[in-house]
Each structure stands twice: as structure tokens, then as C-alpha cells.
Amino acid sequence: MSRGASAGVSRPDHLTEPRWVRGLLLALALGFLALFLLAPLAAVFIEAFKKGWELYLAAIVEPDAWSAIKLTLWVAAVSLPLNLVFGVAAAWAIAKFQFRGKQFLITLIDLPFSVSPVVAGLVFVLLFGSQGWLGPWLQAHDLKVVYAVPGVVLATLFVTFPFIARELIPLMQAQGSEEEQAALTLGASGWQIFWRVTLPNIKWGLVYGAILCNARAMGEFGAVSVVSGHVRGLTNTMTLHVEILYNEYQFAAAFAVASLLALLALVTLLIKNLVEWRSARPGVQTQAEPAATPAALGRPAAA
Amino acid sequence: MNTAPATAIGTARSARRRRNRPGVLPGFGLSMGYAVLYLSLLVLIPLAALPIKSAGLGWDGFWQAVTAPRVMASYRLTFGAALLAALVNLVFGMLVAWVLVRYRFPGKKILDALVDLPFALPTAVAGIALTALYAKNGWLGGPLEHWLGLKVAFTPLGIVVALIFIGIPFVVRTVQPVLEDIEREIEEAAASLGASRWQTIRRVLLPTVLPALLTGFALAFARAVGEYGSVVFIAGNRPMVSEITPLLIISKLEQFDYAGAAAIATVMLLLSFVLLLLINLLQGWQARRGGRLA
């Protein structure tokens, strides 16, 4: 992340603070991060292993936990490709063409970021619940959306909706469309242009958006909690399973499952930094990198 | 930078040419059509259910539902706690960004990467971890209660703590790139004109990062207002005391009061719109400020 060249160079005295001020600021900042960031992370793993390895493993291989893990993976596997296709389509339309209301469209795409996850879950209950508009029709056809897996998928799709689009739009806008236009004059078809010219240019942005989307899809709690109905072994995702275990005072088991999610978060951060490092390397789309980072982070992202 | 005028002329010219046609590349109809269809089906139509459902209450019923004492108490708590947490993040986020950009210390790269943890860590996990830390028998909760008589978990203070955690990355990540882009010559100039270090920081650096700082603050606040997962575990969730608005929506839903839940959700949705608009304005200000500097 430290992109600034100035970060590594030591500054002359008149361009920096007195030594004791630097020490004080550093201590305050590190203290704040230790207290509010590192302590909770450490607590997850310490609480998870408090009762030993055996209980930890038992909590994870237990059938309900196992089905929660499978459902979480399944939900992420469905939502990721759908939002990926949308993200690429939206970014293509917005970055490569001029039309009225573009800014308004971008704002609408951002909307799910600023809607409370609980509200996101609620709208699907209002639409598909037994009291909802489509409720009677669904009941007549013996279909279940809310308090079933489709509802969980819909809620996850909603909250992870903007991730990939938000990542690709500024990236593709910064890249412009000269290369695509050159390919067009050379006689390439639309799909050829996309696969051979555009996709190689945006691949790191795509990976970046996808891992953030995936982390949110697997970790979503509020929206999923409203629509899932908490049916053990059926509609429980990992975060909901953690909640149930916690409310049943099975703290060690709750933290064991939670530690898997924390591990996922750490792996996500690792890949994210690798991608940033990769795309910041000279020669590998240098201009893409500054656009890529703030877009993903400057929004109310994961929950 | 030299090519900027040429590019500007080029864009203006192509914008004129494109007034009739969106562009020369193929695939506009397909990509635009798909994006708008998907957006409408997944986001816009579902969100439209909120005002329509709450309209069933009539204006008086709606007003009663969204201004009941218990609901008002939840607004006060949600906004108060979100504001307090965003203020803490404003100060410490600025500090962390400053330290990460300007100072050298061991483990800086790892810490820099970990600042994004609240984005990546599921909120439910953050919630139970913070509760374990700040509960009466936790590492931090125990000493705090023993030495300071301060109860954190299961009080409104616990909500603020959870919202601080959730909001950490926003201010840091909006301010950090702006600080990195400030050229050393600007500070050189201030120093050579006789400004003290503190004057340089207050008169030169702070105004430059101000738009980014406020954007980060607004983002952290917007996020904190809607937050649910990390808060429900630590809050205690007592009506009138420590019940946040999103939780109130869920309890209305559990009592099958769909219209009431939709009414409160409509209020929150309107607020989201206002905050989104404000954030867009702030980011526009920031872009102009950045443009002038460069």
C-alpha cells in the first residue's frame, strides 16, 4: 500500500516533527490499532482454541457446522459469477460509451453499499414472504424463497451487487477505449475485442473485485439473517451458525467456526495485497493501480 | 501533463461527435440492457417494495409508526453512537494515515494491510470477538470495570466500540492517498517562508486533506448507521436503552408487523439517499481540490 516514494526517504528536520512528537503520535496510532483492531482478531483465535484442538475440530466437523460451511460456499459460488457478469457489462457500458444519466446510473449501482443489510433482507421478505406480493403465487406453485436457500442467495446478491462493477468502472474509464478502437479498425469482432484486448487489461481489477465480493458473500450476516429463518442444517450459513452457537453459550464452538471466517478474511487481505503489488509493478498497467485502490475502499463496503 | 490540453480537445470533439451515437465500439445495447435489467430486478424493484408497503399504513399510520417513542429512542441511539464512532475514527484515522505515510517503523506493511480487516472480517465474528473482549470477564472489560467502573459490553458504549471497529478503514483509506500525493516542495515552501512545523500542518496540510477527511467521516458514519452484525452481540438490545434501529426492524418483522418494519426501513432508506448524495458532493469537492493541486 505504501505507494508514496516519500515514505521511505527520511525527511530533514524542518520537514518533520520533533522526535518526541513523532514518538507520541506513533504510540497513539499503534495503541489505537492494537486496542481496536488487533485485540479482536487475536481474541477470535484464542477463544477458539481455549478448550483445545479436539473441541475445535469437533465443532467444525459437526454435521450442522459442515452443512453451514457447504451452504456458505454454495451461496458464494452462485453470487460471484452473477455479479461478475453484471460488473463487466455495467463497466463496459459506462466506461466505453457516452450517454445521458451516466452519473445517476453509477449512483444507483452504489446504492446497495449504503443500504443497511437488514433493510436489504427485509425487501425480499416483503416481496416473496407469505404476506408479500409474490407470496400467494409462490405458495400455489409450492415454491419457497424466503426462509429457504433462494432467499439467502438473493440477499447475498443484493449486498455484494456493487463490488465488481465499482472496481471495474474507474479502472476501465482510466484506460479509455483507444486500444479497443484500434482492434476494431483492425477488423476484430466485439467478442474478440473483449477477450483479447479488454479482459487482459482489466484482469487484476477483476480479481481484486472478485475477492472482495467473495469475502462479503461468505461473511454477510444482517441481510441473510432476516431471510434465512435459521433452519439448522438447511438455511444456516456460517455466520448464522456462529450466532446460534453463541446464543446457546457454546462459546468455544462459536469461536471455532468464527476462526475459519477470520482466516478467510486474512487470506482475502493477503490476496488483495498481492494483487495491489502485482498491478503496481511497472509495465503491468501502471495507471490502473491508483484507480483500483480507492474505488474499492472509499465506499461502505463489507459487512 | 503536457498531453492534457490535447486530450481535453480530443474528448470535447469526440463528445460532440457522439451526441447522436453513444460510441464506436460494439456491445452498447447488450451491456447496457443487461446491466439495467439486472439492476432493476435485483435492486430497484425490491427497494420500491418499501415505500409501497408502508404506504398501506396511510400517512397518519406511517407517521405514528416512525415516530413511536421506542423508534425515536432507537434513532437517537443509532445516530448518536454512529456520530461518536465516526468522530473517533476521524481523529484516529487521520493519525493512523499520517503515521503510515510519514513514519517508518517495523511491521508497517503488515499493519497497513490489516487496516482493511474490518472490511474483510464478517461482522458477526467482529461482534462476538468484541463482546468476549469487553464483557465483565474479558481481557479489557474486566480491567475497565474494575479500575474505571466502566461497563462497555451490553451498554450503549459497547455499540460505539463496535462501530469504531467497523469504521476504522474509511478515514484511513480516504486520507492516505491524499497525504501520499502531497509534494514535498509545498512543505519546503511553507518552511522557507518562515512557517513553523505546526503552522505548516495546520495551514497547508490540513486544508489539503480536509475534503478526504470529511469524505471518510461521512462514509464511516453512513456505514455505522446501518450496521447490524457487529452491534447485536455487544449491545444488550434492551428497548429504549440499547436497541438500534436495524434491530427494531427485525423485531417488527418477527411480530409480523410488515408495514411497520417497512415504514422504519423507508426512513432509513431515505437517510441512505441523503448520505449518498452528501458523499458524492464531498468526493466531487475532493476531486476538484486534488485537480487544483496537481
In a domain, A191, yes or no: yes
Comparing CB atoms, the residue among A3, A90, A177 nearest residue B35 is A90
Residue A136 sits in the same domain as residue A219: yes
What is the Cα–Cα distance from B24 to B160, expressed in whole angstroms? 52
Contact A71, A236 (CB under 8 A): yes
Q: How far lies B6's CA from each of A200, A255, B9, in Å?
A: 27, 59, 5
Q: What is the pLDDT, as a whole number, of residue A10?
A: 67
Residue A134 sits in the same domain as residue A30: no
> How many CB atoms within 10 Å of residue A294?
18
Residue A44 sits in the same domain as residue A62: no
Q: What is the pLDDT, as a whole number, of residue B270?
A: 92
Type of residue numbered B167? G
The DSSP secondary-structure symbol of B205 reads I
Residue A28 sits in the same domain as residue A150: no
In a domain, A158, yes or no: yes
Type of residue numbered B49? A
What is the Cα–Cα distance from B272 to B266, expressed in whole angstroms? 10
Residue A240 sits in the same domain as residue A220: yes
Phi and psi at residue A54, to the nearest 5°: -65, -45
When divided into structural domains, chain A yields a total of 2
Q: What is the pLDDT, as a whole number, of residue A287?
A: 39
Q: What is the pLDDT, as a whole number, of residue A155?
A: 96
Residue ranges with strand state E in A123-282: none
In a domain, A220, yes or no: yes
Low-confidence ranges of chain B (pLDDT < 70): 1-21, 290-294
Q: What is the pLDDT, as a whole number, of residue A303?
A: 37
Residue A267 sits in the same domain as residue A136: yes
ipTM of the complex: 0.86
Cell numbers for A45, please give them: 483465535
Residue ranges per structural domain of chain B? 24-55, 59-293
In a domain, A2, yes or no: no
Q: What is the pLDDT, as a whole number, of residue B202?
A: 87
Would you say residue A20 has pLDDT above 50?
Answer: yes
Structural domain of residue A35, as residue ranges? 11-48
A111 vs B contacts (CB less than 8 Å) = 43, 47, 272, 276
Q: What is the pLDDT, as a whole number, of residue B39?
A: 95
Cell numbers for B192, please give them: 522557507
A vs B, Cβ pairs < 8 A, gives: 353
In a domain, A168, yes or no: yes
Residue A242 sits in the same domain as residue A124: yes
Architecture of domain B59-293: Orthogonal Bundle (1.10)
A122/B253 touch (CB, cutoff 8 Å), yes or no? yes
- pLDDT > 90 fraction of chain B, expressed in percent and rounded: 58
Q: What is the pLDDT, as a whole number, of residue B11?
A: 53
> How many CB atoms within 10 Å of residue B49?
20
A interface mutation test: which of B125, B134, B185 has the most A CBs within 10 A?
A: B125
Residue A170 sits in the same domain as residue A27: no
In a domain, A4, yes or no: no
Residue A67 sits in the same domain as residue A22: no
Helix, strand, coil percent content, chain A, rounded in steps of 5: 75, 0, 25
Q: How far lies A201's CA from each of A192, A205, A207, A286, in Å?
A: 14, 9, 12, 11
Q: What is the pLDDT, as a whole number, of residue A232?
A: 74
A interface mutation test: which of B1, B25, B232 has the most A CBs within 10 A?
A: B25
Span A163-196, pLDDT tens digits: 999 999 999 999 888 999 999 999 999 899 999 9
What is the Cα–Cα distance from B235 to B161, expressed in whole angstroms? 10
Residue A19 sits in the same domain as residue A123: no
CATH code at position A150? 1.10.3720.10
> Which one is predicted more confidently, A269 or A230?
A269
Q: Note which residues in 129-188 of chain B have CB less than 8 A from chain A.
A: 129-130, 132-133, 138-140, 161, 164-165, 168-170, 173-174, 176-177, 179-181, 184, 187-188
The shortest C-alpha distance from A263 to chain B (Å) reads: 9
In a domain, A126, yes or no: yes
Span A41-89, pLDDT tens digits: 999 999 999 888 888 999 999 999 999 999 999 999 999 999 999 999 9
Span A88-109, pLDDT tens digits: 999 999 999 999 989 889 989 9
Type of residue numbered B280? N
In a domain, A5, yes or no: no
A104 vs B contacts (CB less than 8 Å) = none
Q: How many CA atoms lie within 13 A of B104 on its CB side?
A: 8
* CB-based contacts of B45, cutoff 8 Å, min separation 6: A127
Would you say the C-alpha torsion A69, A74, A77, A82 has a positive or negative sign? negative
- Cα dihedral A139, A145, A150, A153, rounded to 10, equals 160
Cell numbers for A155, please give them: 440477499
A190/B262 touch (CB, cutoff 8 Å), yes or no? no
The shortest C-alpha distance from A213 to chain B (Å) reads: 10
Name the residue with cell 511553507. Answer: B190
Residue A40 sits in the same domain as residue A181: no
Q: What is the pLDDT, as a whole number, of residue B24?
A: 84
Comparing CB atoms, the residue among A14, A129, A184 nearest residue B24 is A184
Region of residue B120 (phi > 0: left; psi between -120 and 50: alpha; otherwise: beta): alpha
Residue A132 sits in the same domain as residue A36: no
